[in-house]
């Protein structure tokens, strides 16, 4: 297979491979099951977020409120289940989380699809509204006793084992959820008319409208879907951390958008693949967790991520410019 160097996916995959080779050379212990499970665990919540952000970017919008949706959802879910439905099993807890997230997403959806407001501004506003509402009217104290369903989910492991040195490693069952989310979203985007419509709107709203796509309906679906995924991610985060801290997660939004854009999705919409998104998340997780293995102090983390964003988006932009100049 010939490598296509104009694609972000190739670039990111090569950088990840290079990073791993360098890391393995400087510390042979890097290539271990423990490192892998550690990285995968760190990618679970980020991955679910990234898939949601990717769908919004494909539709030509942007969402910065998803972290607030997740924080709101995990807090409210933990509180409601504790008070009203402690008997709820783990899958019920996740379902409640998805429902709460979907409701909040629907608020974004009404403002964007219904009123036709710009997506960046709406989600910037709802970011403050959701967070402010939760901290003012619902609570600011972290919930340390999670409902039984979430506790049960927090203890579920896919595999666990012991390293040569006697320490333990484990992979959380939530990893399966992330994989399912990726597969389901891939199916929606690539095998259904709805998915085609999302790409079409991202490409050109006017053209999509003229071929008979219900633009408002599809946009509404997109923001509800992102809300559902954000709610799911929040509930998983609380279950894995074994505490629902309302101050968690918010502040992560630009890193997630960075991961998705590194993977080749364009802010203008209509372009990008889920493979790229997964690779982008993998790269950000690697940089956030393993920079130290290369002998780079962790204080350089944000410089490294910043450089990656500039190179990852600059190279394709520069190539496109050169191609346009050659064509002219």
- What residue ranges bind other proteins (CB under 8 A)? 64, 111, 115-118, 120-122, 124-129, 131-133, 135-136, 140, 251, 254, 257-258, 261, 267-268, 297, 299-310, 313-314, 317-318, 320-321
Per DSSP, the residues of 66-128 read HHHHHHHHHHHHHHHHHHT-TT--HHHHHHHHHHHHHHHHHHHHIIIIIT---HHHHHHHHHH
Q: Work out the number of other CB atoms within 10 angstroms of the CB of residue 305.
A: 20
Q: Which is nearer to other proteins, 128 or 192 (CB)?
A: 128
Complex with other proteins: residue 163 or 302, whichever CB lies closer? 302
How far apart (Å, rounded) are the C-alpha atoms in residues 251 and 64? 10
The token pair at 181 is 């989310």
- CB of residue 276 vs other proteins: minimum separation in angstroms? 15
Give the burial string for 279-296 (b: 16+ CB within 10 Å, else e): bbbbbbbbbbbbbebbee
Choice between 28 and 212, CB closer to other proteins: 212
- Determine the Cα–Cα distance for residues 133 and 65; give it in Å rounded to an integer: 13
Q: Report which of 120, 103, 128 is spatially closest to residue 228, judged by C-alpha positions.
A: 103
Least Cβ distance, residue 75 to other proteins (angstroms): 13
- Residue 315 to residue 59: CA distance in whole angstroms: 23
Instruction: Compute the least distance from the CB of residue 305 to other proteins, in Å.
Output: 5
CA distance 58 to 261: 11
CB within 8 Å of 319: residues ≥ 6 apart: 6
Contact 177, 75 (CB under 8 A): no
Q: Is 69 exposed, middle or buried (0-12, 13-18, 19+ CB in 10 A)?
A: buried
From the CB of 129, what's the least distance to other proteins, in Å? Answer: 4
CB of 147 to other proteins, least distance (A): 24
Cα dihedral across residues 168, 174, 180, 186: positive or negative: negative
In whole angstroms, what separates CA 325 from the centre of its chain? Answer: 36
Residue closer to other proteins by CB (options 3, 317) is 317
Smallest gap, in angstroms, from Cβ of residue 277 to other proteins? 15
Assign 140 to helix, strand or coil: coil
- Output the smallest distance, CB 223 to other proteins, in A: 14
Min CB(103)–other proteins separation in Å? 17
- Give 122 or 182: the residue with its C-beta nearer to other proteins: 122
């Amino acid at each position: 297979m010939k490598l296509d160097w104009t694609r972000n996916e190739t670039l990111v995959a090569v950088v990840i491979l290079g990073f791993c080779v360098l890391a393995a050379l400087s510390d042979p212990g890097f290539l271990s099951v423990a490192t892998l499970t550690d990285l995968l665990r760190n990618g679970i919540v980020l991955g679910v977020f990234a898939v949601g952000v990717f769908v919004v970017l494909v539709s030509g919008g942007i969402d910065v409120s998803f972290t607030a949706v997740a924080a709101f959802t995990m807090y409210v879910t933990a509180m409601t289940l504790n008070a009203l439905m402690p008997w709820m099993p783990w899958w019920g807890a996740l379902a409640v989380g998805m429902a709460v997230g979907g409701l909040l997403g629907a608020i974004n959806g009404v403002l964007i699809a219904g009123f036709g407001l710009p997506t960046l501004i709406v989600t910037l506003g709802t970011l403050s509204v959701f967070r402010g509402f939760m901290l003012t009217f619902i609570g600011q104290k972290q919930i340390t006793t999670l409902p039984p369903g979430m506790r049960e989910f927090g203890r579920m492991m896919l595999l666990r084992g012991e390293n040569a040195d006697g320490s333990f490693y484990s992979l959380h069952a939530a990893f399966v959820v992330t994989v399912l989310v990726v597969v389901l979203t891939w199916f929606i985007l690539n095998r259904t008319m709805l998915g085609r419509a999302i790409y079409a709107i991202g490409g050109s709203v006017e053209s999509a409208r003229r071929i008979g796509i219900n633009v408002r309906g599809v946009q509404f679906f997109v923001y509800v879907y992102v809300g559902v995924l954000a709610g799911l991610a929040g509930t998983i985060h609380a279950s894995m951390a074994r505490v629902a801290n309302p101050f968690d997660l918010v502040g992560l939004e630009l890193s997630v958008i960075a991961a998705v854009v590194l993977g080749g999705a364009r802010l203008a919409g209509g372009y990008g693949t889920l493979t790229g998104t997964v690779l982008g998340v993998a790269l950000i997780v690697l940089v956030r967790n393993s920079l130290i293995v290369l002998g780079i102090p962790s204080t350089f983390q944000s410089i490294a991520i910043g450089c990656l964003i500039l190179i990852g988006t600059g190279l394709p932009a520069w190539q496109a410019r050169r191609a346009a100049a050659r064509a002219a």
